[in-house]
Amino acid sequence: MEKNRTAQGAFFRLCVLIGFAAFFFGLILAMLAATNSQTLVRTFARNLGQRIYPTGATPTPTPTPCPSVGSWTEQAPYPIAVFGNAVASQGGNVFGFGGITNNIAIANAYKYTPATNTWVPIASLPAPRGWFSAASDGTYIYLLGGVDQNFATTATLWRYDPTSNTYNTSLPSYTIPTYFHASAYLNGKIYRIAGRAIGTDFHVEVYDIATNAWSMAANYPFANHSLMAVALGNYVYAGGGNASPDKTYRYDPGTNTWDDGAIADLPAGRSAAASGAYNGRWLLAGGDVNFAVSNSVIALDPATNTWINLPNMIQARDYLAGATADQSFYAVAGTSGPGTPTNDNQQYMETPCPPMASSAFSRRVHGGAGPFDIPLPLTGSVGVECRSGGATNDYQMIINFMSPVTVGNASVTSGTGSVSGFTVSGSQVTVNLTGITNVQRITVTLFDVNDGTHMGNVPVSMGVLVGDVNGNAAVNAADVSLTKAQLGQGVGSSNFREDVNANGVINVADVAQVKANLGTSLPP
């Protein structure tokens, strides 16, 4: 009895020693596995005889923050070199109106279609206008004030109808003629904010589309011109400009107040920039920054109330205008230096991040024993599918997301085989594969996965090595031994890998299939 206990104690100590040795050996292997594509860690575990099968174990992918990647490109130039032009978007197209060229306001107007990257002339303005503004309500484009061909300041409100390509000039004018004002459309109303008048103006006038009437809103906090504005959420944001050029304010129509504290000031004074809403943020492109023509671009994220730097425009421009259309922001024309108009059409586009998959599996139905899943880690070493795919080498991949998604398409983008079909159920995508030959790595890519916030392509890789029951990327004697050890056992979550032909029983046929693949290994 005593002797037996001593023997047990010695055995226990030996186990502890082995455990420690195994731990450090495992640590080294894990470090190797990080750089080696083979699944050494699992090999190690299996070689110690542990029945660690990764069913149901969900590998947590390393969170890789995917900042939106934005870039500027020059698109088809505006048909004329101009500045002080007005720009708005409607129905995925960009519309440019008037502006100043050769030291005179003009009436030319053009429509840009992103799909064809072309500008075409549209009906000219009812009269020349420059240093004015445009705002769209989703149906019409409203054109506010500005100077005419004699540099006389106006307070006109014209409404352009993109469908009929006509202007309505019978809408009421606002009260104080201005140029260099800002404007925005929010919830059925058009706002004319400050601007240059006889002096510099601090009034805010509101046009109610439904009642076709103007009224005064709370004054802008100070007289200002060459400022910028945008509507985001249920607020109008305005800021920058000629006076206190780093100050910004948020207007709440509900309380009719301009709130200084609700929005961070600009990181640097800025005026005469292109302004618009893009991906939920207030984007300001170019203009005069610290009184110099700039190519810098910043955006306010209302959620964090912080200004972030975006990639610079290709060309520094001020007195330009911009609008968001078809997933891009277009900064159109503007001056390169005092009084020097240009015809640049600078496009800013951000590529959204794809939704992140939370887990992926290779699923096979083992006859009456039911389906069993082999995890497919989304980072690091690939999961090894060791079961045969039947006569036509069919497999099934399950990919889970954090929230419901839509998927545009799915295909095998690397390796031999093809997608025979896929289904989406909430946050789970099931991809059926066929012709997946043995001894290869494949990558299945889900295209245009969209969870409402993120959009992009999601690749999932898998190793296919029939008979590699311990998943170490090689079929050798260890796999034969492991399979033999399970002969006659019921197929369950701990030993389904040994049911190599996935028929629900582990017998000599499985051993034979492992033996038939002896010497194969997963290609790098």
Closest to 154 (Cα-Cα) out of 134, 135, 128, 136: 128
Q: Which is nearer to Ca ion, 136 or 495 (CB)?
A: 495
Q: How far is the CB of 506 from Ca ion (least distance, A)?
A: 5
User: Is 385 among the residues that bind Ca ion (CB under 5 A)?
Assistant: no
Give one DSSP letter per residue of 454-514, joined into a string.
Answer: -EEEEEEEEEE-TT-TT-SSB--HHHHHHHHHTTTPBP-TTTGGG-TT-SSB-SHHHHHHH
Using CB under 5 A as the binding criterion, the count of chain residues that bind Ca ion stands at: 9
Q: Identify the residue among 75, 226, 296, 501 touching Ca ion (CB under 5 A).
A: 501
Sheet holding 440-450, edge to edge: 384-385, 455-464, 440-450, 409-414
Q: How far is the CB of 71 from Ca ion (least distance, A)?
A: 46
Closest to 176 (Cα-Cα) out of 158, 157, 197: 197
Q: Which is nearer to Ca ion, 200 or 503 (CB)?
A: 503
Q: How far is the CB of 515 from Ca ion (least distance, A)?
A: 13
Q: Which is nearer to Ca ion, 230 or 469 (CB)?
A: 469
Site residues for Ca ion, window 451-470 (CB under 5 A)?
Answer: 468, 470
Let me know the angle formed at the C-alpha of 461 by 504 and 485, rounded to the nearest 5 degrees: 30
Closest to 94 (Cα-Cα) out of 337, 320, 352: 320
Q: How far is the CB of 415 from Ca ion (least distance, A)?
A: 20
- Which 8-state DSSP code applies to residue 67? P
Q: Identify the residue among 148, 318, 344, 479 touching Ca ion (CB under 5 A).
A: 479
Q: Which is nearer to Ca ion, 26 or 459 (CB)?
A: 26
**Are the CB atoms for 344 and 74 separated by under 8 Å?**
yes
Q: How far is the CB of 455 from Ca ion (least distance, A)?
A: 39
**Are the CB atoms for 355 and 454 separated by under 8 Å?**
yes
Q: How far is the CB of 519 from Ca ion (least distance, A)?
A: 11
Q: Identify the residue among 449, 503, 511, 517 touching Ca ion (CB under 5 A).
A: 503
User: Is 510 among the residues that bind Ca ion (CB under 5 A)?
Assistant: yes
Q: Which is nearer to Ca ion, 344 or 510 (CB)?
A: 510
**Which segment (245-253, 277-285, 413-421, 507-515) binds Ca ion by CB under 5 A?**
507-515
Q: Which is nearer to Ca ion, 65 or 519 (CB)?
A: 519
CA dist 441 and 447 (Å) reads: 19
Q: Identify the residue among 344, 350, 373, 499 touching Ca ion (CB under 5 A).
A: 499
Q: Which is nearer to Ca ion, 189 or 366 (CB)?
A: 366
Site residues for Ca ion, window 94-123 (CB under 5 A)?
Answer: none
Q: Which is nearer to Ca ion, 100 or 474 (CB)?
A: 474
Q: Which is nearer to Ca ion, 231 or 502 (CB)?
A: 502
Q: How far is the CB of 507 from Ca ion (least distance, A)?
A: 6
User: Is 38 among the residues that bind Ca ion (CB under 5 A)?
Assistant: no
Our CA dihedral for 218, 222, 227, 232, rounded to 10 degrees, sits at: -40
* Main-chain phi, psi angles of 88, to 5 degrees: -150, 160
Q: Give the 3-state DSSP-derived string for 212-247, with helices as H, strands as E and coil as C.
A: CEEEEECCCCCCCCCCEEEEECCEEEEECCCCCCCC
Q: Which two tokens stand for residue 451?
A: 């969870």
Q: How far is the CB of 479 from Ca ion (least distance, A)?
A: 4
Q: Identify the residue among 90, 156, 335, 472 touching Ca ion (CB under 5 A).
A: 472
The amino acid at residue 445 is T
CA dist 469 and 483 (Å) reads: 7
**Are the CB atoms for 248 and 259 separated by under 8 Å?**
no
Interface residues toward Ca ion, by CB under 5 A: 468, 470, 472, 474, 479, 499, 501, 503, 510
